[in-house]
Amino acid sequence: MDWQSTPEDTVPSSVVSEQNRLAMLGRPPVTGAWRDGDAPGNRRFETIDDLVLESGVTLSRPRIAYETWGELDADRGNAVLVLHALTGDSHLAGPAGPGHVTAGWWTGIVGPGLALDTDRWFVVAPNMLGGCQGSTGPSSFGPDAVEWGSRFPHLTIRDQVEAQALFADRLGIERWAAVVGGSMGGMHAIEWGVSHPHRLERLAVLAAPAVSSADQIALNTVQGEAIRMDPAFADGDFYDADDGDGPYRGLALARRMALLNYRSPDELNARFGRSWQSEISPLGGPGRFQVESYLDFHGNKFTRRFDAGSYVTLLGAMNSHDVGRGRDGVEAALNRVTARTLVLGIDTDRLFPVADQEQIARHVPHALDGRHATVISSHYGHDGFLIENEAVGGHLRRLLAS
């Protein structure tokens, strides 16, 4: 559930004020979702069969947007499913351009000669159900040609994985060579291993838990409330706002709150300290700390590529996550996993700490490093799985070679 690592985040903090000024030019759109009629970019689309949700609601023939890299073997045995985090999408690799507001979020991992070597593997990345980059979600048009908005049903992680399984059926892929996911995508990945053990040979769960804790649910809840409290959210039915004023204030605030969970305290302190953005003394009048400007920039940028309705929907799905629900508990559920499994944690992750990954590694039968999680060291906290390409890529290579 993490921001996409972009060049803007690596520039000196003294430049952030200018970036922030440019990001603020013009009102953000009502929604940053990809909409029908927009340039498709590299997306493909697949309509799946009717999906009966855990709530009992039937979602009629939802659409899944996806991208692929590499070539599928004749025996369809080299397909790798990559599942994105909360604010990710199907654009794993490739430049920004028409249809893609940002460059690929895992360009250091996916490509020829990289850890997910597209000369060997057929890599498939769907936008999750409920998302806002081409798959059916709150910003999509319902059967009556009006955006779903508040009518969009509640989703669970299991619902989203079932949609992914139906999507795999449409592609004719009976068994994945590997299923890989980080953060919210890691929730999907472990759910794949539990609910469809016969359909994957290898599994990579990166910086994700087996069950969302009370602390994690609380963090999600306050982000959702930040959006709901924005009057422009209109209970989720904001897409036809007469004045073009969408709930960008609440969405930007939710994003700023989330970023504090994704990065480590040491990284923020070392990068910004108590530096001020201007010459104004902190004791002499109004002014801004550089870290404030940094958060504002990313919050404002986020409103141009994401949808408030999807954000609320996906937070609810994350809160539902519990592989042990209805399966005699977490330990019994994890024992169902038959795939060779990489369980990777990050030593500075304060969102999904290493203890979460240790719980998974203790109980899946074929963890790559025995009964312990594989732990990498990173200055970046939870976002390390997006940034530490050498370390993460090395462990993915180990898994794919096994």
C-alpha to C-alpha distance for 282 and 318, rounded to whole angstroms: 39
Number of Cβ within 10 Å of residue 164's Cβ equals: 25
What stretches of 306-402 show up as alpha helix (H) in DSSP? Answer: 308-319, 330-334, 354-363, 384-387, 389-401
User: Active-site residue 382, yes or no?
Assistant: yes
C-alpha to C-alpha distance for 376 and 268, rounded to whole angstroms: 19
CB-neighbour burial class of residue 87 (10 A; exposed 0-12, middle 13-18, buried 19+): buried
CB-neighbour burial class of residue 110 (10 A; exposed 0-12, middle 13-18, buried 19+): buried
Residues in the chain: 402
**Strands 79-83 and 122-126, bridge-based pairing:** parallel
Is the CB of residue 225 less than 8 Å from the CB of residue 308? Answer: no
Residues 6+ apart with CB under 8 A from 214: none
Cα 3 to chain centroid, rounded: 8
Best CA proximity match to 116, nearest among 68, 173, 73, 64: 68
Q: Which of 84, 298, 382, 395 is catalytic?
A: 382
Q: Residue for token digits 């004020």?
A: 17
Q: Which of 307, 349, 356, 383 is catalytic?
A: 349
C-alpha to C-alpha distance for 155 and 311, rounded to whole angstroms: 12
Q: Which of 183, 293, 310, 320 is catalytic?
A: 183
Point out which residues pair with 69 in neighbouring strands.
123
User: Active-site residue 5, yes or no?
Assistant: no
Is the CB of residue 28 less than 8 Å from the CB of residue 41? Answer: no
User: Active-site residue 183, yes or no?
Assistant: yes
Helix (H, G, I), strand (E, B) or coil at 172: coil
Active site residues: 183, 349, 382
